[in-house]
């Protein structure tokens, strides 16, 4: 016996509830305002409601996903069917127990868009190039005409808006989180607060980060997860620029056990991501920091595939056979199985910053752009470009990494 919540007009809800109870199902009748309450879906297996924008929106689907509740929208007309299709759910046309139960039994689980792909770009301290790479990859993917979004979730040093010449006073991610808290972050609100960046043959949707680091309490973990899930419903790929810090023991220095955590946005993004791109600076200090930090990353998201990208590769910082040395070191100390390299191309990076554009637009023929395009091409194949950089013995070996690179020169 399942518990089915019904939120429909009384004229159609009453006969449906009688039919469901007649076949042994437990029925709970909810009003339109009740389905917005935090505990309304507790113990419910499925929710039947109208495919109407006043009831069915992305925020509701996110809550139902979190509560493991299957959603059955009833489309009374073509507009309702179109709304359900846009949100990635399958509507029913007949308000009968047979149609509702058939829909529930054919759903494999909570409804999430099968086409969305959330990619978090992370790297340790030392400015390895997280934001530059996140912007470049997102813009390159958008060039092919895909629906691509870029979210700046860095709560320590947000930089996406400044690097793209966008207004730092724009609502952006902070406004999206506020709307998510009110359960009103829908596709129309997303279209209003996002910034659209032309990428040549496509358009990139950008949610800028907070304009001052002191505003980090506006990005709590639960709101971040809701925003990411919602944006993923409206996009084929979502890139998230994160901060370096991923420590979860901030309560040690806080007077509030349940107070806000500055690293919550980054942790939520990394735990939600389908894939993680881990950026390593190509110098002895950068590699040592990466080896130490990637251990914590794998503890935070142990099952998420990780692609390792070594940025600004140059022989003058590593010595002869720079790529070979970096590859051997990372394979030994992080067990990364697939590593990609981006050459040191300061002129292309400077040109991108000067013009406030992604590097593929500012310097389309540069070596940096060519490397970014090779990596972006791998993102067409979910999981194919993933490397499991597991942390076995990495923490014990990390202290010797810098000396290992220098001795091999």
Which CATH fold would you assign to the domain 3-106? Rossmann fold (3.40.50)
- Which has the higher per-residue pLDDT, 150 or 409? 150
Q: What would the two tokens of residue 109 be?
A: 């689980």
CA distance 322 to 405: 10
CA distance 218 to 178: 8
**pLDDT value of residue 110:** 43
Confidence of residue 81 (pLDDT cuts 50, 70, 90): confident
Q: Max Cα separation, the chain?
A: 80
CA distance 334 to 289: 12
Contacts 24+ apart (CB under 8 A), 322-328: 322/282, 325/405, 325/408, 325/409, 326/280, 326/282, 326/287, 326/405
88 touches 112 (CB < 8 A): yes
- Least confident interval from 116-125, 318-327, 398-407: 398-407
Q: Is the pLDDT of residue 399 over 60?
A: no
Q: Which residues, listed in sequence order, are joined to residue 72 by a DSSP beta bridge? A: 48
301 touches 271 (CB < 8 A): yes
Alpha helices in 89-220 (DSSP H): 97-106, 130-142, 160-163, 172-181, 187-193
CA distance 343 to 311: 7
Calculate mean pLDDT across residues 131-148. Answer: 93
CA distance 121 to 240: 6
CA distance 303 to 209: 27
- Least confident interval from 87-101, 194-208, 219-233: 87-101
**pLDDT value of residue 106:** 61
207 touches 194 (CB < 8 A): yes
Calculate mean pLDDT across residues 33-42. Answer: 78
Q: Measured between alpha carbons, how far is residue 365 from residues 15, 105, 349, 351, 371 in Å?
A: 66, 53, 12, 12, 11
CA distance 398 to 70: 46
> What is the 8-class DSSP label of residue 384?
T
| Averaged confidence pLDDT in the chain | 85
Domain boundaries, the chain: 3-106, 117-407
- Least confident interval from 295-299, 311-315, 353-357, 405-409: 405-409
Q: Is the pLDDT of residue 393 over 70?
A: no
Confidence of residue 41 (pLDDT cuts 50, 70, 90): confident
**pLDDT value of residue 348:** 96
Q: Which residues, listed in sequence order, are joined to residue 27 by a DSSP beta bridge? A: 4
**Could you report the per-residue pLDDT of 140-179, keeping only the tens digit for each?**
999 988 899 999 999 999 999 999 999 877 889 999 999 9
Nearest to 6 by CA among 88, 108, 96: 96
Pairing of strands 203-207, 195-198: antiparallel
Q: Note the CATH number of domain 117-407.
A: 3.40.50.300
**Could you report the per-residue pLDDT of 268-292, keeping only the tens digit for each?**
999 999 999 999 999 999 999 999 9
CATH topology of 3-106 equal to that of 117-407? yes
- Which has the higher per-residue pLDDT, 301 or 384? 301
pTM: 0.68
Containing H/E element for 85?
Answer: helix 78-87
């Amino acid at each position: 016996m399942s518990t089915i919540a019904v939120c429909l007009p009384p004229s159609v809800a009453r006969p449906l509830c009688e039919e469901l109870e007649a076949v042994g199902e437990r029925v709970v009748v909810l009003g339109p305002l009740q389905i917005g309450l935090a505990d309304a879906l507790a113990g419910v297996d499925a929710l039947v409601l109208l495919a109407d924008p006043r009831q069915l929106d992305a925020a509701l689907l996110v809550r139902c996903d979190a509560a493991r509740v299957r959603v059955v929208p009833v489309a009374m007309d073509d507009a309702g069917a179109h709304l359900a299709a846009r949100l990635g759910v399958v509507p029913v046309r007949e308000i009968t127990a047979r149609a509702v139960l058939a829909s529930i039994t054919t759903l494999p689980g909570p409804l999430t868009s099968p086409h969305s792909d959330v990619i978090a770009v992370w790297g340790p301290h030392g400015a390895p190039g997280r934001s530059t790479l996140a912007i470049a990859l997102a813009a390159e993917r958008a060039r092919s005409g895909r629906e691509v979004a870029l979210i700046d979730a860095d709560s320590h040093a947000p930089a996406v808006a400044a690097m793209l010449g966008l207004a730092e006073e724009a609502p952006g991610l902070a406004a999206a989180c506020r709307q998510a808290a009110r359960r009103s972050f829908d596709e129309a609100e997303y279209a209003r607060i996002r910034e659209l960046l032309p990428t040549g043959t496509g358009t990139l949707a950008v949610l800028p980060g907070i304009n001052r680091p002191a505003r980090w309490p506006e990005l709590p973990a639960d709101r971040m997860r809701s925003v990411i899930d919602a944006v993923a419903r409206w996009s084929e790929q979502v890139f998230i620029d994160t901060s370096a810090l991923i420590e979860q023991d901030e309560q040690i220095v806080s007077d509030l056990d349940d107070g806000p955590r500055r690293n919550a946005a980054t942790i939520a993004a990394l735990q939600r991501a389908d894939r993680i791109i881990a950026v390593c600076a190509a110098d002895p200090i950068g590699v040592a920091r990466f080896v130490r930090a990637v251990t914590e990353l794998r503890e935070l998201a142990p099952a998420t595939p990780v692609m390792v990208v070594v940025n600004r590769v140059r022989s003058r910082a590593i010595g002869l056979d720079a790529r070979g040395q970096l590859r051997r070191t990372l394979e030994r100390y992080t067990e990364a199985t697939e590593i990609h390299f981006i050459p040191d191309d300061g002129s292309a990076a400077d040109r991108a910053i000067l013009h406030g554009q992604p590097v593929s637009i500012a310097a389309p023929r540069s070596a940096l752009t060519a490397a970014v395009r090779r990596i972006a091409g791998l993102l067409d194949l979910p999981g194919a470009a993933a490397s499991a950089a597991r942390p076995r013995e990495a923490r014990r070996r990390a202290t010797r990494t810098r000396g290992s690179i220098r001795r091999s020169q």
